[in-house]
Chain A
Amino acid sequence: MSTPKISDAVAGGVVSTVEQTISRRRSEGGGALIGYLPVGFPTLTESIDAAVALVANGVDIIELGLPYSDPVMDGPVIQAATQQALANGFKLRHGFEAIRAITAQVDAPVLVMTYWNPVVQYGVERFADDLRAAGGAGLITPDLIPDEAGDWMEASIRTGLDRVFLAAPSSSDARLIQAIEASRGFVYTVSTMGTTGARAGVDAAARILVERLRAVGCTSACVGLGISTPEQVREILGYADGAIVGSALVKALTDGGVPAVARLALQLAAGAQDIRPASSPG
């Protein structure tokens, strides 16, 4: 059985809207801006409003985080937000409710970022079915490597959901190829060795890693971790297909509510325009 390649935009009879969006942004001369927010923070309603505001202000793809008790890839800002969401009574069903509410209002793809145990406990097959039914585009799985993802590969192929695996500066070339072959949508390119959280400068490691991914055939690499400004978005989209902003948006939501998220999204989106002449091949 051949492993599905990232370029196979059609699986299970469903087109990857994430790949379509990335390719549209490329043809427009820009790059994809991906915005992360956790469900249930500060409340379920506000998290839905904030996600809608992201898209209304130029974010192309939503990364919706499901709060989890032990988020080892997350830094202090997202930890605090997701811990509050859990304290407020977040349940997995709220995640599906949020996706329904968001996709009813905007037509940007919604990828779910989740640690693996909640999916296992919900049931991998059932999770895939309910995510598809709610209108979700797929999963970003920070603590699931392709080596352990047999159940998820099967369920996502059956339902046509995207699978976003991570590539790290420390990954060997063999592992980069494995991530590319296992992923659909994009490969989450970890900009630096560390956890989520704004950083003053984006590591040179990000550019090197994208170059390494390209060299082994990656056609869709989005960079995340430590990106918080329009300048950083512009710099990254100079060489990558997408830029992922998380902690900065969560901090804006914490400090200034939905209006602050909208303002920051608008600024970030400006960084994602006019990267290169429109319609040039990416």
Chain B
Amino acid sequence: MSLRNESLRLQSGPYFGEFGGRFVPESLVAALDELTAEYELAKKDPAFAAALMELHRNYTGRPSIITEVPRFAEYAGGARIILKREDLNHTGSHKINNALGQALLTKRIGKTRVIAETGAGQHGVATATVAALFGLECVVYMGEVDTERQALNVARMRLLGAEVVPVKTGSRTLKDAINDAMRDWVTNVETTNYIFGTVAGPHPFPAMVRDFQKIIGEEARQQVLDLTGSLPDAVTACVGGGSNAMGIFHAFLDDADVALFGYEAAGDGVETLRHAATITKGRPGVLHGARSMLLQDEDGQTVESHSISAGLDYPGVGPEHAWLSSIGRATYLPITDDEAMSALRLLSRTEGIIPAIESSHALAGTLELGRALGPEATILVNLSGRGDKDMETAGRYFDLLDEGAEQS
């Protein structure tokens, strides 16, 4: 395959190399066709772009800033570390970028009800938020395990007027929430649009969600150039399904000198069975409508993933990441729960920024990367979300709660 003269940024599905496609029940094909056609029209419509940009600016608070973190960087071999602050977005993560885009598209198609899946609850909160903003009925599917460990986000979604359905089947996490959302969509497709939260799923979702997230990298690339006068040596992000990573990677895909690193959740360690390191330990397979890398047994049954971070606790990954890994353009490495939690505390104490546990995987990877690259290097990290939602988990992990405080 000769990619030398082709822009890697032009990939728009259904396939990214051998990955992607549409492995869905026939009942959904009409809806996917409609969504694809409407998205293609919207892409060419200046009014759509203007409406989205207006929301980015005056609702989300974009462009998000970049913050250099020298005290944190001392622990990364002195490399220069710059954070892209998606944590400062309205609703607390990058998920709002995509939810706004797909909500605008829902209005364009004329549907009145939206559904979403959510793991950590960030995409669910973002979808509930845009549903409130646009006056859409909203149902969010969330694995029962996740409704427990992200109870605060469940309350947020309900306060915003969304119905949250705890999913009790399978492993009761994100993968099962997606199954139930797909079942809902198959049943209610006439009135309902599925606002998918990550760069996985059947075409057009991987390309469309990436397009709604690529503003992260477009802004950051220019911001780093303005700050340092050159491109960073490396760009890093955490990868569950992979939307924040595709969002920041995309603008740099053709910058051959910029290394791209995605950090997967290694849970208890990739040598154990309790992890979510899909690219590191998985192999190609079909799940949730796309061919990509997948944690599965020899029979093709999906294996349950494990991570302290609900947002990365997913046995699949977006097909564009599988492709970038297969052609060697991006490198994907595992980060354990303990490494991530340690980075979470380090950023909190050195810089006064409490990151989401998901994003802390990227921070932990960056610490290692900085030590490897040395003090001359500049690394751009996507700080995809803030840690407010994780205080209960962090409180327990670091034993920060006074006795009895959990009941009060």
B302 contacts A70, C-beta separation under 8 Å: yes
Residue of A143, A165, A167 most packed against chain B (CB within 10 A): A143
**Minimum C-beta distance from A92 to chain B (A):** 5
A193 contacts B301, C-beta separation under 8 Å: no
Do A168 and B27 form a contact, CB below 8 Å, given A194-B186, A195-B186?
A: yes
B285 contacts A70, C-beta separation under 8 Å: no
**Minimum C-beta distance from A86 to chain B (A):** 7
Complex Cα–Cα for A33 and B107 (A): 44
Contact of B169 among A83, A147, A168, A193 (CB under 8 A): A83
User: Does A68 lie at the interface of the complex (its beta carbon under 8 Å from any beta carbon of B)?
Assistant: yes
B23 contacts A70, C-beta separation under 8 Å: no
| Contact indicator per residue, chain B 17-40, by CB within 8 Å of chain A (1) or not (0) | 000011111111111000000000
A73 contacts B287, C-beta separation under 8 Å: no
A116 contacts B298, C-beta separation under 8 Å: no
B187 contacts A193, C-beta separation under 8 Å: yes
Contact of B187 among A70, A117, A143, A195 (CB under 8 A): A195
User: Does B182 lie at the interface of the complex (its beta carbon under 8 Å from any beta carbon of A)?
Assistant: yes
Q: State which of A11-19, A20-28, A169-177 sits at the interface with chain B.
A: A169-177
User: Does A232 lie at the interface of the complex (its beta carbon under 8 Å from any beta carbon of B)?
Assistant: no
| Contact indicator per residue, chain A 122-138, by CB within 8 Å of chain B (1) or not (0) | 10000000000000000
Beta-carbon contacts under 8 Å, A134-158 to B = 142-145, 147-148
Chain A residues with Cβ below 8 Å from B26 are 145, 165-168, 171, 175, 179, 190
User: Does A280 lie at the interface of the complex (its beta carbon under 8 Å from any beta carbon of B)?
Assistant: no
Q: Which residue of B lies closest to A147 (CB)?
A: B22
Chain B residues with Cβ below 8 Å from A194 are 27, 183, 186-187
User: Does A118 lie at the interface of the complex (its beta carbon under 8 Å from any beta carbon of B)?
Assistant: yes
Contact of A86 among B23, B298, B301 (CB under 8 A): B301
Q: How large is the interface on B (under 10, 10 to 19, 20 to 34, 35 or more residues)?
A: 35 or more
Do A117 and B30 form a contact, CB below 8 Å, given A73-B25, A79-B169, A148-B21?
A: no
User: Does B288 lie at the interface of the complex (its beta carbon under 8 Å from any beta carbon of A)?
Assistant: yes
Complex Cα–Cα for A142 and B286 (A): 13
User: Does B224 lie at the interface of the complex (its beta carbon under 8 Å from any beta carbon of A)?
Assistant: no
User: Does A72 lie at the interface of the complex (its beta carbon under 8 Å from any beta carbon of B)?
Assistant: yes
Complex Cα–Cα for A73 and B25 (A): 7
B302 contacts A69, C-beta separation under 8 Å: yes
Contact of A171 among B24, B30, B175, B286 (CB under 8 A): B30
User: Does B300 lie at the interface of the complex (its beta carbon under 8 Å from any beta carbon of A)?
Assistant: yes
Residue of B24, B31, B300 most packed against chain A (CB within 10 A): B300
Complex Cα–Cα for A126 and B203 (A): 28
| Contact indicator per residue, chain A 75-114, by CB within 8 Å of chain B (1) or not (0) | 1000100010010000110000000000000000000000
Complex Cα–Cα for A169 and B27 (A): 7
**Minimum C-beta distance from A153 to chain B (A):** 15
Chain A residues with Cβ below 8 Å from B298 are 121
User: Does A216 lie at the interface of the complex (its beta carbon under 8 Å from any beta carbon of B)?
Assistant: no
Chain B residues with Cβ below 8 Å from A72 are 24-25, 179, 182-183, 186, 288
User: Does B99 lie at the interface of the complex (its beta carbon under 8 Å from any beta carbon of A)?
Assistant: no
B170 contacts A83, C-beta separation under 8 Å: yes
Contact of A170 among B31, B170, B285 (CB under 8 A): B31
User: Does A120 lie at the interface of the complex (its beta carbon under 8 Å from any beta carbon of B)?
Assistant: yes
Chain B residues with Cβ below 8 Å from A167 are 26
Do A193 and B189 form a contact, CB below 8 Å, given A69-B301, A70-B302?
A: yes
User: Does B299 lie at the interface of the complex (its beta carbon under 8 Å from any beta carbon of A)?
Assistant: yes
B183 contacts A195, C-beta separation under 8 Å: yes
Chain A count of residues within 8 A CB distance of the other chain:
39
Do A73 and B186 form a contact, CB below 8 Å, given A117-B285, A171-B29?
A: yes
Q: Which residue of B lies closest to A144 (CB)?
A: B23
Beta-carbon contacts under 8 Å, A154-203 to B = 165-172, 175, 179, 190, 193-195
Complex Cα–Cα for A119 and B285 (A): 10
Contact of B299 among A79, A118, A142, A143 (CB under 8 A): A118
User: Does B190 lie at the interface of the complex (its beta carbon under 8 Å from any beta carbon of A)?
Assistant: yes
User: Does B296 lie at the interface of the complex (its beta carbon under 8 Å from any beta carbon of A)?
Assistant: yes
Complex Cα–Cα for A213 and B36 (A): 25
A91 contacts B300, C-beta separation under 8 Å: no
B25 contacts A69, C-beta separation under 8 Å: no
Do A70 and B170 form a contact, CB below 8 Å, given A86-B301, A167-B26?
A: yes
Contact of A121 among B29, B182, B285 (CB under 8 A): B285
A122 contacts B299, C-beta separation under 8 Å: yes
Complex Cα–Cα for A30 and B24 (A): 33
Chain B residues with Cβ below 8 Å from A117 are 285-287, 294, 296, 300, 302
B300 contacts A118, C-beta separation under 8 Å: yes
Chain B residues with Cβ below 8 Å from A169 are 27
Complex Cα–Cα for A142 and B27 (A): 10
Contact of B25 among A79, A122, A143 (CB under 8 A): A143
A193 contacts B27, C-beta separation under 8 Å: yes
Chain A residues with Cβ below 8 Å from B182 are 72
**Minimum C-beta distance from A39 to chain B (A):** 12
Contact of B179 among A70, A121, A175 (CB under 8 A): A70
B186 contacts A193, C-beta separation under 8 Å: yes
Chain A residues with Cβ below 8 Å from B188 are 193
Q: Which residue of B lies closest to A168 (CB)?
A: B27
Q: Which residue of A lies closest to B289 (CB)?
A: A143
Q: Which 6 A-B residue pairs are closest in the complex by CB-CB distance? A: A121-B300, A170-B30, A168-B27, A118-B300, A166-B26, A117-B300
Interface residues of chain B, those whose CB is within 8 Å of chain A, are: 21-31, 169-170, 175-176, 179, 182-183, 186-190, 285-289, 294, 296, 298-302
A-B contact pairs, 16 of them (CB 8 A): A68-B301, A70-B175, A71-B179, A72-B24, A117-B285, A118-B299, A120-B285, A120-B300, A121-B285, A143-B24, A143-B286, A168-B30, A175-B26, A193-B189, A194-B186, A195-B183
Task: Other than A70-B176, A193-B27, give 8 A-B pairs with Cβ distance below 8 A.
Answer: A68-B300, A70-B302, A145-B22, A145-B23, A165-B26, A175-B30, A195-B186, A195-B187
